[in-house]
Amino acid sequence: MMFIRLSTFFLGVLATFFLGWAGLTLIPGIQIREIKPSSELKPYTDEQFSGRAIYIREGCIYCHSQQTRPEGFGADQLRNWGRPSVPGDYVYDKPHLLGTMRTGPDLFNIGARQPSEDWHLIHLYNPRALSPGSLMPPYPWLFKEEDEFSKEVHAAMGKKVVPVPKGFAPEGKVIIATQEALDLVAYLLSLNHTYPVE
């Protein structure tokens, strides 16, 4: 009699865990596999994928979200941050970088709102050069400082010279973007979800 009670209890606990697991992981996983991306959404290039890893490494996810909300769920549409996000927008994102806070603006459509590579490079080097009062920290380790007389030499060698406004770079120096900075900007520019969705 005791064995029957224990086995019933054990099976009940096992069934509870199984149902919880199925409800939280198995069923949503099946539903997610059925989501089809827009024909205009492309997988990340190697450069963009590398930039995405830098985005994660530098902690950008802690201050920026990537999920534009529909009208009635905040001011995203009034800010012209783009159409509301849908599940198909995240098909190639693993892990998903939806974010939970907005110390800075949502970046879901930053590639459409700010399509300039130079703007992003300057902003990464020193955000206050473009946005006075910005809370964003600068990322100078993603850049190199070289003597100003070598500006043309670097440009001729194919290196990206960042046009930092006067007063925001050290005197007599020119700022050169590293490959990491270029990859991060390539990722940010890929965040352009202006294609139509059903």
Q: What is the mean pLDDT of residues 119-133?
A: 94
Q: 107 and 191 in contact (C-beta within 8 Å)?
A: yes
* Helix, coil or strand: residue 87: helix
Q: Where are the extended beta strands (E) located within the chain?
A: 143-147, 161-162, 173-177
> If you classify domain 46-190 with CATH, what class do you get?
mainly alpha
Q: 177 and 42 in contact (C-beta within 8 Å)?
A: no
Mean pLDDT of the chain: 87
pLDDT 10s digits, 32-86: 677 777 778 888 999 999 999 999 999 999 999 998 888 888 888 888 888 888 8
User: CA of 81: how far to CAs of 37, 51, 116, 157, in Å?
Assistant: 20, 22, 16, 37
Q: What is the mean pLDDT of residues 97-112?
A: 89
Tell me which amino acid residue 128 is: R
pLDDT 10s digits, 4-47: 778 888 888 888 988 888 777 777 777 667 777 777 888 899 99
Task: Of 5-9, 156-160, 186-190, give the lowest mean pLDDT range.
Answer: 156-160
pLDDT attached to residue 137: 95
63, with CB counted inside 10 A (0-12, 13-18, 19+), is middle
Q: Is the pTM of this model over 0.75?
A: yes
Residue with tokens 């693993």, as numbered in its chain: 94
Q: What is the DSSP string of 106-117?
A: --TTHHHH---H
Q: 192 and 111 in contact (C-beta within 8 Å)?
A: yes
Measure the CA–CA gap between 179 and 159, rounded to whole angstroms.
9
Q: 111 and 190 in contact (C-beta within 8 Å)?
A: yes
Q: What is the mean pLDDT of residues 145-156?
A: 73
